[in-house]
Structure 1
Amino acid sequence: MHVVQFLLPLRDNERRPFGRADFEQVRTELTERFGGVTAFLQSPAVGAWKEEGETVRDEMVLFEVMVDSLDRGWWSGYRAELERRFRQERILVRALGAETL
């Protein structure tokens, strides 16, 4: 079993906020495909990184899905679609091994 996670920004690179419907669409797509999703929409995470010597900060929401098997091709295509929709150069999708207790 795997837990697949990714972060989506609350705003694009020009600081324009995405609408709640944008995040709801992702939640609906993942629920329909995998039967469920956890979306941490109320408490955004704050990320920080260095870019050209300056610290850049962004607020993001986390999506998480549990899957029995990892379809790397599907996730790669979905990541590219999210990058297009959320106007991002790169969205990190990570898969972590998991077992239920």
Structure 2
Amino acid sequence: MYLIQILLPLYDNLGNPFPYEEYNRLRDELSERFGGITTYMRSPARGLWKETSTSTVSDDIVIFEIMCDELDREWWGAYRSELAATFRQEVLIVRVSEVQLL
């Protein structure tokens, strides 16, 4: 079984919030496709990374999680590209972990 996590920014690079409806659309779309989804929307996580040796960038994010039995890397790669365009990101993180249910 696989756990896919999508890290989505709350704000664009100018600090403008993305419409809440966009997150609802994605939630509904992914829930329909995969039969369920977990969203972490109430307490945004904060991402920090070094852009250069002297500058650190931060981003408030929400996380969407999907569990599935099959991993279609081609579909996820295309979907990540679509999300990066929607959220105007050079890089948008979609990561996968193999998990075992206990």
Taking structure 2 as the reference length, the TM-score comes to 0.95
| Identity score, percent | 50
Give 1:51 shift. Answer: 1.5
Residue of structure 1 in register with 2:44 after alignment: 44
Counterpart amino acid of residue 17 in structure 1: P
Name the SS for the 2:65 alignment partner: strand
Task: Letter of the 1:7 partner, please give it.
Answer: L
Aligned length: 101
Gaps of 5+ in 2: none
Instruction: List, as ranges, runs of 4+ consecutive aligned residues in structure 1 with deviation greater than 6 Å.
Output: none
Is 1:63 paired with 2:72?
no
Cα deviation, residue 6, structure 1: 1.4
Aligned to 1:77: 78
Q: TM-score of the superposition, structure 1-length normalised?
A: 0.96
CA distance in 2, matches of 1:56, 1:88: 14
Distance apart, 1:30 and its partner CA = 0.4
1:7-64: CA deviations, max 9, x gaps? 0000011111011101101101101100100010101000111123211111000010
- Alpha-carbon distance between aligned partners in 2 of 1:79 and 1:20, rounded to the nearest angstrom: 19
Runs of 5+ unmatched residues, structure 1 = none
DSSP-derived class of the 2:24 partner = helix
The match for 1:6 is 6
CA shift, 1:99, in A, is 1.1
